[in-house]
Structure 1
């Protein structure tokens, strides 16, 4: 449990970096940032795949199809939604919408996986979910007040950003549940191999997406300087950094956590990503969070600590004789 929690914490600290990428490249289309990130991830995965080629050969065709699905929805589509949301609504609002993931995943997993992982009693789980939800509401309230005070704010643009963030929630509710299914069904497989497989699987898709975007922008007469935009060195460096750490190392850490923790509990630990993303966003803004924001962060942390105390309850095994 402790080791799984530490892996989830490290994954959250790393994944928080992806929330500031769109803020550092505001003039770059979100689609380009998405395919660029996963093109970098796929290229980084190639030498790693060569080193791990023996284990990768053991993966079946069905395994590779699953890796492609996970990468396409949990990586490419998720980051497209997230980057688009951040560019339209700023950092904190999409971060807090994505921050509902611990609640959404915990409820989904408890409904779906109780037979496999044991049931986390709703009565004991409810306080942690309530604390997390209240924390998210506090931080969100601060951002909404700032939005109302800004006379130049485009409410329609913010609303679209919020909807796109909800799309990201849907993608990343599906991803950890399916990813945990595969990992728990293959306990003998190395999580590192599975992280590398997802990188290799996404490479052709990201490459096709990059080429398609380039052709579309050329045909539409867009003034954006393809293939690497107005700041090529910074764009390539940022995509490579996010591709290595947020995609491969982060996925590896999350896979390690997923093999050690019940899915409902692991889902709540995604709150570490929210806390890291908020911290990075305020550092980038160069300002201290408001008191209500700090209260919200405290509630999030309290919710996680409470959740760690909840142990799954397994249903009693009924033998054939007892059943008779």
Structure 2
């Protein structure tokens, strides 16, 4: 349990980096950052695939199709929505919307995976989820108040950014549930090889996306110099850093956690990503969080600790009645 929790913490610390990229590259479209990040991830995965070639050879066609789906929705589409949301609404608002993931995933997992993982009793799960939700609400209240005080803010732009963040939330509710399904169904497979497989599956999608984006921008007369924009060295270095740390190593740590923890509990531990993203955002602002923000962060941490004390209860599986020997 605790080893799985530490893996989830490591994944959260690295995934928090993805909220920094759009703030450091405001002049780069979200679509370019998405395909750039996952093109880097796919290239990083190639030598790792050679090291894991025996484990990857065991994957069936159905496994590769599953990796392709996870790559398309959990990687490219998710980061396209997230990076575009951050550029339109700033860092904190999308972070808080994504921060509802622990609640959303825990509820979804508890509804669909009770027979496999056991069910976390709703009565005992209510308090941790309420603490997490209250913490997110506190932090969100501070950020929304700051937005209302900004006379230069564009409400329509922020609203569209919030909508894109909801799209990212949907993608990343689906991804960890589906990824955990595969990992729990294949306990003999290497989580590292599965992370590498998703990177390999991402590469052709990212290449095609990059080519389409480049061609579309050329036809549309975009001013952004392609293929790497106005700051090529910084863009390439940041994409490879995020691709290595957040995409591959973060996915590896999350896979390790997913094999050790019930899906409902693992879903709650995505709160570590929210905490890391908030910490990085305030570091970039060079500002200390407001008291209500600190109270919200404390509630999040207490909620996670409370969740770790909840143990799943085995769900009895109904067995068919034996046939009547007289018939």
TM (norm. structure 2) is 0.97
Q: Is the 8 A contact 2:94 2:165 kept in 1?
A: yes
Superposed, 1:1-324 pairs within 5 Å as: 1-316=1-316
> Deviation per CA, 1:37-92, whole angstroms, max 9, x where unpaired?
00000000000001111110110000000000001000110000000000000000
Instruction: Tell me how far apart the structure 2 counterparts of residues 316 and 220 of structure 1 sit (CA, whole Å).
Output: 60
Say which SS state the counterpart of residue 237 (structure 2) adopts: helix
Q: CA deviation at 1:245?
A: 0.6
The CA deviation string for residues 120-140 of structure 1, in whole angstroms up to 9 with x for no partner, is 000000001100000000000
Q: What's the offset of the Cα at 1:316?
A: 3.6
Cα deviations by residue, 1:202-254 (Å, 9 ceiling, x for unpaired)? 10000000010000000000110000000000000000000001000000000
Instruction: Report the Cα offset of residue 317 of structure 1.
Output: 5.5
What is the CA distance between 1:315 and its match in structure 2? 2.1
| RMSD (Å) for aligned C-alpha atoms | 1.3
Cα distance in structure 2, aligned partners of 1:31 and 1:317: 46
Does the 8 A contact of 2:135 with 2:295 survive in 1?
yes
Using the alignment, how far apart are the partners of 1:23 and 1:180 within structure 2?
31
Partner SS state of residue 315, structure 1 = coil
Off by >3 Å, runs of 4+ in structure 1: 316-324
How far apart, in 2, do the equivalents of 1:64 and 1:53 lie?
14
Shift of 1:322: 9.7
Counterpart Cα distance in 2 of 1:318 and 1:165: 40
Per the normalisation by structure 1, the TM-score is 0.98
Go from structure 1 to structure 2 and tell me whether the alpha carbon gap of 1:132 and 1:222 turns closer, same or farther (over 3 Å shift). Answer: same
State the alpha-carbon separation in 1 of the partners of residues 267 and 138 from structure 2.
21
1:196 to 1:306, Cα distance in 2 relative to 1, 3 A? same
Instruction: Give the direction of change, closer, same or farther, for the CA distance of 1:317–1:164 in structure 2 (3 Å limit).
Output: closer
Q: For residues 230-282 of structure 1, give each alpha carbon's deviation from its aligned partner in whole angstroms, at most 9, with x where no partner exists.
A: 00000000000000010000000000000000000000000000000000000
How far apart, in 2, do the equivalents of 1:223 and 1:141 lie?
37
1:220–1:309 Cα change, 3 Å = same
Cα distance in structure 2, aligned partners of 1:101 and 1:60: 31
8 Å CA contact 2:115–2:316 kept in 1: the answer is no
Question: Using the alignment, how far apart are the partners of 1:15 and 1:171 within structure 2?
Answer: 15
Separation in 1, partners of 2:88, 2:267: 27
Distance 1:323 1:254, change over 3 A: farther
- What secondary structure does 1:143 align onto? helix
